[in-house]
Amino acid sequence: MTFKISTIITLLAVIVGSSANEVSAQEGEWVSLFDGKTTKGWHTYGKAKAGAAWEVSDGALHLNIDGKTQDDRGDLVTDKEYENYHLKLEWKISEGGNSGVIFNIHEDKDKYANTYNSGPEMQVLDSDNHPDGKIFKHRAGDLYDLIPSSSEPAKPVGEWNLAEIISNNGKLQFFLNGVNIVTTTMYNDEWKALIAGSKFAEWPGFGTYKKGKIALQDHNDKVWFRNIQIKEL
């Protein structure tokens, strides 16, 4: 069987085009939550817009508290709520710094004064130089005060870390720099027991919401976040 060169070229174009479309469709499942230039899509918890302490520099969201008032401060929260999702972002912490990624937040300032009153947290920390680094279940990557990271793949201060949170029908997984460090199931009896044995035991509503907003924590220390993406599952 023989083919004309033009026919072969056409077939190759179709194959390449088909592959390109498949890749585009797959990549299209991911949605960027940060455009690298503005705080569009985000606001300070309980407020209408993002506080001035959250600056955008070099393609990253930077919490810079220098010279800022309390009105400029606060956790940065997504405008939208998410239920089943795969979140990934990069974070970099300052020396001795503390922050976090808080999720499944029910934003009701009258009922919950802070993001962490309703939402669990993936700890962001300089574990070697912050006092929380000496507390069990408070180190970088931990499901804060609930489950410790199974290993500690966090990079040194000043380097970027890739963090991932997968929440899907109650199954929760944390990844840090490609390593699965936490796996658990939310909302069941074991989850309730974890909360009962934690600092959140007396906080009604904590860890009970299956849908909510995502926050980047203002914990009084400089921190940077970039390449924030989410895929709804």
* pLDDT at residue 91, as a whole number: 98
Domain count, the chain: 1
* Residue 153: other Cβ atoms inside 10 A: 17
Question: Higher-confidence residue: 156 or 20?
Answer: 156
For the cut 50, the answer to whether the pLDDT of residue 5 exceeds it is no
* pLDDT at residue 159, as a whole number: 98
List strand residue ranges (DSSP E) for 34-136, in order.
Answer: 42-44, 54-57, 60-63, 76-78, 85-93, 98-105, 121-125
- High-pLDDT (> 70) share of the chain, %: 88
Q: What is the mean pLDDT of residues 203-217?
A: 98
* pLDDT at residue 13, as a whole number: 38
Question: Higher-confidence residue: 10 or 97?
Answer: 97
Whether residue 27 lies inside any domain: the answer is: no
Give helix then strand counts, H and E, for the chain.
Answer: 2, 13
* pLDDT at residue 3, as a whole number: 39
148-204 confidence digits (pLDDT tens): 999 999 999 999 999 999 999 999 999 999 999 999 999 999 999 999 999 999 999
For residue 44, which of 19, 16, 68 has the smallest C-alpha distance?
68
Cα 110 to Cα 45, 69, 86, 106, 186: the distances in Å are 12, 22, 29, 11, 25
For the cut 50, the answer to whether the pLDDT of residue 15 exceeds it is no
Whether residue 24 lies inside any domain: the answer is: no
- d(CA 171, CA 148) in angstroms, rounded, equals 16
For the chain, the average pLDDT equals 90
For residue 142, which of 184, 174, 98 has the smallest C-alpha distance?
174
Whether residue 18 lies inside any domain: the answer is: no
- d(CA 111, CA 55) in angstroms, rounded, equals 28
- High-pLDDT (> 90) share of the chain, %: 88
Whether residue 11 lies inside any domain: the answer is: no
22-47 confidence digits (pLDDT tens): 333 344 499 999 999 999 999 999 99
For the cut 50, the answer to whether the pLDDT of residue 101 exceeds it is yes
Report strand pairing: 42-44 vs 179-185: unpaired
Cα 136 to Cα 127, 133, 142, 163, 182: the distances in Å are 11, 8, 9, 20, 14
* pLDDT at residue 172, as a whole number: 98
Question: Higher-confidence residue: 173 or 2?
Answer: 173
* pLDDT at residue 47, as a whole number: 97
- d(CA 122, CA 175) in angstroms, rounded, equals 10
3-state secondary structure of 6: helix
Whether residue 21 lies inside any domain: the answer is: no
Q: Are 31 and 229 in contact (CB under 8 A)?
A: yes
Q: What is the mean pLDDT of residues 99-122?
A: 98
Whether residue 212 lies inside any domain: the answer is: yes
Query: The CATH number of the domain where 227 resides is what?
Result: 2.60.120.560
Residue 142 buriedness (CB in 10 A; 0-12 / 13-18 / 19+): buried
Q: In sequence order, which ranges of 58-210 are alpha helices (DSSP H)?
A: 189-196
Range of the domain at 180: 32-232
Whether residue 151 lies inside any domain: the answer is: yes
Whether residue 225 lies inside any domain: the answer is: yes
Q: What is the mean pLDDT of residues 5-30?
A: 42
